Amino acid sequence: MSVQSALLNEAAGPAGQHLNAQVLRADARREQLRLMVLLAPSLFLVCAIIIVPIGWLFWLSLFDESGALSAANYARFFEQASYIRTFVTTFKVAFIVTGACVLLGYPLAYMLSQLPRRAASICLIFVILPFWTSVLVRTYAWLVILQRKGLINSWLIDLGVISQPLSLANNFSGVVIGMTHILLPFLVLPLYASMKTIDTDCLRAGMNLGAGPAATFRQIFFPLSLPGLASGVVIVFVLCLGFFVTPALMGGGKVVMWAMRMEQTTSLYSNWGAGAALGVVLLVVTLALLGLFQWLLGARATGVWSSR
Amino acid sequence: MSADIGLPISHRQRLWLYGLGGLVLLFLIAPSVIIVIMSFSDSTLLQFPPRQWSLRWYQSYFQSLEWRDATIVSVKVAIMTVLMATPLGTAAAYAINRGTLRFNGTINALLTASLIIPVILIGIGTFFLYARIGLNNTLTGLVVAHTVQALPLVVLTVLSGLRSYDMNQERVARSLGAGRVAAFWQVTMPQIRFSIVSGALFAFITSFDEVVVSLFISGGETTTLTRRMFSALRDQIDPTIAAISTCLIALSVLLLSLAQIFGRRH
């Protein structure tokens, strides 16, 4: 017996090495187990609170009111005009807000990237502070500024520019202004971070070779800043699609966006199947956009969160 | 800073850029400043600048039982969220940082999922789940939901701290005879504690400012401050909210400065 096993060991190579490998493997397994124990509570919570309920909603969306398997909840989106209106409104708001964020955010990020370190970090406070201020507070501020008897209207009337108050809040423009303000930092922060990594030697080389400031910017700086811009654009657009607070408070009930529609169908009408189907499509669109972005640029759009 | 990067462009040539950037900064900061100023107004009308100053809106905030209860609920939930999310997130970040786990990418994606998934979907899903297990309108339910939303921020913050820390130090401690726990507490922990504190601050503010999920799962005696504000804003614009908003802005400034201070020391 012992002779046999000794012979076997002999055949497998030097006995010590064999045993050593086994111990090492067992050790690695134990290490994996320990790390999993550290992760387990967090993973459990995320799965229990986010993944399982969403999976459940997805399951629900596959059945109609009588409990039969059907695509009725999804077919509705193409048949009912009110759903189509919601999608059109949502995408319209998302495109306009993203565009406004690019127009306002690019010059700001560019300026921040060109300022001396101290000045830039002071200016950055003005970007980060709103980022960390409650969305509700900022929406309230815009309500105060834009409403009929609000600041803008009373100033314009006092100055004699207009005689009747403009309707700025409780409509489409209010939603767009409020959302642009709230989402602007999500574009500026990743864009600024990527602009900081542009090698100034490239710019200097361009100027050395005779390019003027405008040509240097257009041909060197701008193309190099595009990946950062793209990640900001994707994150802003995706956040727009699922935005709830600002349209709910500033839309005056006239601007119904995707997330509001979900809230209405589930809370008001308790139509879980329809609400769940809306959620599933929203999630799929969101993940598809983020996935497309990641595939095209090989970067994760969630990086914005670590930059704040 | 053409001088710094050595480009032959003067600040004067850049004036238009500074002007434009300055305007955008003004757009970002002006609403908060206006609200802070208006909260000290004496008038029920929203005049700017206010003609008379007073603290009446702060009085109306602190004297109202409803607002006070809601504030207490929010503070309680935020503190408990910090106490849950910080250790859990730190443990998770520690495990991910090893990089030896199978499915490391999947785990990472799962833990940061709540940053990507539309909040409204998380809100509806949580409400749906809680309705079945009786956690709607409870503090426990709120704390658990907020913990899940705060986790990714703690994980990301602590991970960035761990990335600039040399794990070999912990190995050295262990080879010198320290147990795992002792090695972490005495060697690793003191060097990443500022990231952990920053993560905790982010968790606090995430919970305190959270609106959408609370809208679904809080109510009655566990109505959070943001939930009550949301309902109040739907009805009318009460200047008391300006006073509350100012307090929230002050809280953000305080927590951000703390995070900055800790970040610098780190």
Which of the two residues, A106 and B52, has the higher pLDDT score? A106
Please indicate whether residue A63 or residue A5 has the higher confidence score (pLDDT).
A63
Report whether pLDDT(A11) > 60: no
- How far out from the chain centre does Cα B174 lie? 36
Give residue B104's pLDDT. 80
Comparing CB atoms, the residue among B45, B160, B211 nearest residue A136 is: B211
b/e map B168-178, b = 16+ CB within 10 Å? eebeebeeeeb
Q: How confident is the model at residue A300, as a pLDDT? A: 56
**Model confidence pLDDT, tens digit, residues A120-133:** 989 999 999 999 99
**For residue range B115-172, what is the model confidence (pLDDT) as tens digits?**
889 999 999 999 999 999 999 999 999 999 999 999 999 999 999 899 888 888 988 9
Averaged pLDDT of chain B:
89
Residue A67's SS3 state is coil
How large a percentage of chain A has pLDDT more than 90?
43
Q: Hey, are the CB atoms on B29 and A126 less than 8 Å from each other?
A: yes
Q: pTM of whole model > 0.95?
A: no
pLDDT band at A308; cut points 50, 70, 90: very low
Tokens of B31: 């609403």
Number of H helices, E strands in chain A: 16, 0
Calculate Rg over the CA atoms of chain B: 23
Quick one: average pLDDT of A153-175? 86
Alpha-carbon Rg for chain A, nearest whole angstrom, is 28
Listing DSSP states for A171-185 in one string gives: SHHHHHHHHHHHHHH
Q: Which residues of A touch B145 (CB under 8 A)?
A: 49
pLDDT-based confidence at A80, cuts 50/70/90? confident
pLDDT at residue A269, rounded to an integer: 80
Q: CATH number for B65-265: choose from 1.10.3720.10, 3.40.50.300, 3.40.605.10, 3.40.980.10.
A: 1.10.3720.10
C-beta atoms of B151 and A45 within 8 A = yes
* Partners of residue B48 in chain A, C-beta under 8 Å: 151, 154
Neighbours of B129 (CB within 10 A): 22
The whole-number average pLDDT for the span B168-186 is: 89
* Residue B163 touches partner A, C-beta closer than 8 Å: no
Confidence of residue A13 (pLDDT cuts 50, 70, 90): low
pLDDT score for B42 = 86
Please compute the mean of the pLDDT values over residues B56-84 and round it to a whole number: 94
What is the average pLDDT score of chain A? 86
DSSP state of A166: P
Please write the tens of the pLDDT for every residue from B8-44: 677 777 888 999 999 999 999 999 999 999 899 888 7
Domain edges within chain A: 16-60, 80-306
Q: How confident is the model at residue A214 (pLDDT cuts 50, 70, 90)?
A: confident
More confident residue, B83 or A144: B83
Alpha-carbon distance A6 to nearest alpha carbon in chain B (angstroms) = 33
Q: Which residues of A touch B24 (CB under 8 A)?
A: 104-105, 107-108, 184
- Domain range A80-306, its CATH number among 2.40.30.10, 1.10.3720.10, 3.30.200.210, 3.40.50.1000: 1.10.3720.10
Q: Which residues of B touch A130 (CB under 8 A)?
A: 28-29, 31-32
Whether A144 and B34 lie within 8 Å, measured CB to CB: yes
Q: What is the pLDDT of residue B265?
A: 59
DSSP B41: B
Sign of CA dihedral B241, B242, B244, B248: positive
Site from B17, B46, B106, B121 to mutate, A interface, most A CB atoms within 10 angstroms: B121
Provide the pLDDT for residue A227.
87
B residues 33..52 contacting A (CB < 8 A): 34-35, 38, 45-48
Non-local (6+) Cβ contacts of B146 within 8 A are B77, B78, B81, B85, B206, B207, B210, B213
The residues pairing with B41 across neighbouring beta strands, listed in sequence order, are B53
- Give the N- to C-terminal CA distance of chain A in Å, as an integer: 67
C-alpha A125/C-alpha A121 separation (Å) is 7
- Provide, rounded to the nearest whole percent, the portion of chain B with pLDDT above 70: 95
Residue B24 to residue A107, Cβ atoms within 8 A:
yes
Encode pLDDT of A234-246 as tens digits.
999 999 999 999 9
Query: Out of B110, B115, B229, whose CB is closest to A302?
Result: B115
The values of phi and psi at residue A307, to 5°, are -80, -10
CB contact (8 A) between residue B120 and residue A41: no
Distance from B99 to chain A by nearest Cα, in Å? 10
**Cα–Cα distance for residue pair A234/A295, rounded to 1 Å:** 13
Chain A residues inside the 8 Å CB shell of B117? 50, 54, 283, 286
Residues of A in contact with B147 (CB under 8 A): 45
| Nearest-CB residue to B118 (from A41, A49, A259) | A259
Which residues in chain A have their CB less than 8 angstroms from residue B89's CB? 42
Interface of B with A in 207-236 (CB under 8 A): 208-209, 211-212, 215-216, 226, 229-230, 233-234
pLDDT grade for A141, boundaries at 50, 70 and 90: very high
CB B235 within 8 A of CB B109: no
User: CB B13 to CB A108 under 8 A?
Assistant: no
- Residue B2 — pLDDT band, cuts 50, 70, 90? very low
Give A158's DSSP letter: H
The rounded distance, in Å, linking the Cα atoms of B185 and B181 is 6
Q: How far apart are CA A120 and CA A110, in angstroms?
A: 11
pLDDT, position A213: 82
A301 pLDDT higher than 60: no
Give A103's pLDDT tier (boundaries 50, 70, 90).
Answer: very high
Instruction: Give how far Cα A235 sits from Cα of A122, A126, A301, B203, Å.
Output: 25, 20, 6, 21
Average pLDDT score over residue span A225-233: 90
Separation CA B157–CA B73 (nearest Å): 26
Nearest-angstrom CA–CA distance, A9 and A3: 10
Q: Find out whether B5 and A202 touch, Cβ atoms under 8 Å.
A: no
B147 touches chain A (CB under 8 A): yes
* pLDDT at position A229: 92
What is the distance between the alpha carbons of residues A190 and A228, in angstroms, rounded to a whole number?
Answer: 6
